[in-house]
Homo-oligomer: A and B are copies of this chain.
Amino acid sequence: MTSSTTVVLTYLAQHHERHLDELFEFLRIPSISALTEHRADVARCAEHVAHQLHAIGLTRAEALPTDGHPVVYGEWTGALGQPTALIYGHYDVQPVDPLDLWESPPFQPTIRDGQVYARGATDDKGQVFMHLKALEAHLRTTGRLPINVKLLIEGEEEIGSANLDAFIAAHRDQLAADVAVISDTAMFARGVPSICYGLRGLAYLQLDVVGPASDLHSGSFGGALANPIEDLCKILAALKDENRRITIPGFYDDVRPLAEAERVELGLLPFDEEAFRRKVGVPALAGEAGYTTLERLWARPTLEINGMWGGFTGEGSKTVLPARASAKVSCRLVPDQDPERIADLLTEHVQRLCPPTISLTVTRMHGGKPCLTPLDHPAVQAAARAIEVGFGKRPVFTREGGTIPVVATLAEQLGLPSVLMGIGLRDENTHAPNEHLDLENLRNGMRSAAQLWFELAR
């Protein structure tokens, strides 16, 4: 450990009690972005964050208006010749109902058993705060940061970030950086600090099939014409083979194969398949032949039927031969699949499968690119070293099966790779009553975040 590291980490240790008080202050503001009656609270919270950024010594710190809730922007750019990191987070929180299930009031932070309970504790105020205090530790002890830092702390993450893309597009130069650092995810498991380096993308489509001009009596007409639900079932059933491989021609063409080293790494993760099966509550797990569950979740593309409907769906037994049927179908994508190309291939394939007895319309709903920061990317390696300092153990490298839209936006708009170093835990009741954050993870996270700027400067 270098002497600068020692100085900074010592500062964090010495000021931890005050930092907790300040975290509580942040958590007390009911910045629920979804509820109109909390609009002023959200604005107050934005001002609070901007004030904090200013107080810790950033050279620029302001709450900027959008068409919705403000975005807080901050920067310190005094490290000439050094790279720039853009820290993304959000200060808004989820609603709190059902309130009666909270053991302590959601906006009165309370410590029990080494956890701080409050709405926003883990998602995402605690993790934003971790970065703020890590920056403070540098600026108060050495008067500077090892690299340049910009912060983008939004107030609409919990309601879909409707104004974020436009904000980023409008501030492209101001936000220019070399790497994005995001702490809004969970660690792989308790005691297992993690870096998430990949997210899946998405291509979402709706299929609508039409047979007869109107619903018909299944007695008077049944047998003489095709049933649109049956035809749609046949199309959907044909989209995977007996190995649960997707049958769309060309679907796997652009899939970057898992490197052997990566498979080994994933195989070493402490993943309990049987516990996972029990948790989701299925009789048996199932997926693409030749891959483990984690590989299927993180590194292989999927095709899911998200919804389907047609004909009579009420109680009882209406004898209808339906005129139409519909399904929502989406693919999770992995590098280097392109959502547009996959949507094209899926559309062509279902049209090919469509029998002459029905007409089929395919509508594209939305898409998102998969993201992957290579494991050997300097920023990923820097984060790994920082976490080793902060937590006292090497992190594991994970991916995530879902999509975090801001990661794709930052990649597309600003060309930034993202490093996701979250310190939440999956059982910390995000979006639910009794949300909490582990204080040891917070402490180690602050140390890791502080160390990260040293590591990125090397």
- Residues of A whose CB lies within 8 Å of any CB of B are 200, 202, 204, 206, 211-214, 216-227, 229-230, 232-234, 236-238, 240, 276, 280-288, 293, 296-297, 300-302, 304-314, 316-322, 325-328, 330, 332, 355-359, 365-366, 400-403
Contacts and interface: CB of A to CB of B under 8 A. Distances in A.
A212 B330 contact: no
22 contacts: A202-B219, A220-B401, A221-B401, A222-B302, A222-B401, A223-B297, A224-B286, A224-B287, A225-B285, A225-B286, A227-B304, A229-B307, A230-B237, A230-B304, A283-B356, A283-B358, A283-B359, A286-B357, A305-B311, A306-B319, A309-B310, A317-B365
B297 A307 contact: no
Contact of A320 (B213, B221, B306, B400): B306
Contacts of A318: 306-307, 328
A355 B226 CA distance: 26
**Top 10 closest pairs, chain A to chain B, by CB:** A219-B402, A213-B281, A307-B311, A307-B312, A317-B365, A223-B296, A237-B237, A233-B233, A229-B305, A223-B302
A229 B226 CA distance: 20
B402 A305 contact: no
B227 A284 contact: no
A212 B280 contact: yes
Contacts of A284: 226, 356-357
A58 to B, nearest CB: 34
Nearest to A312: B307
A322 B322 CA distance: 23
Contacts of A312: 306-307, 328
Given A225-B286, A230-B240, 4 more contacts: A213-B281, A223-B287, A307-B312, A307-B322
Contacts of A402: 217, 219-220, 319
A237 B234 contact: yes
Contact of A204 (B212, B237, B314, B317): B317
B297 A221 contact: yes
A237 B230 CA distance: 6
Nearest to A244: B226
A404 B434 CA distance: 59
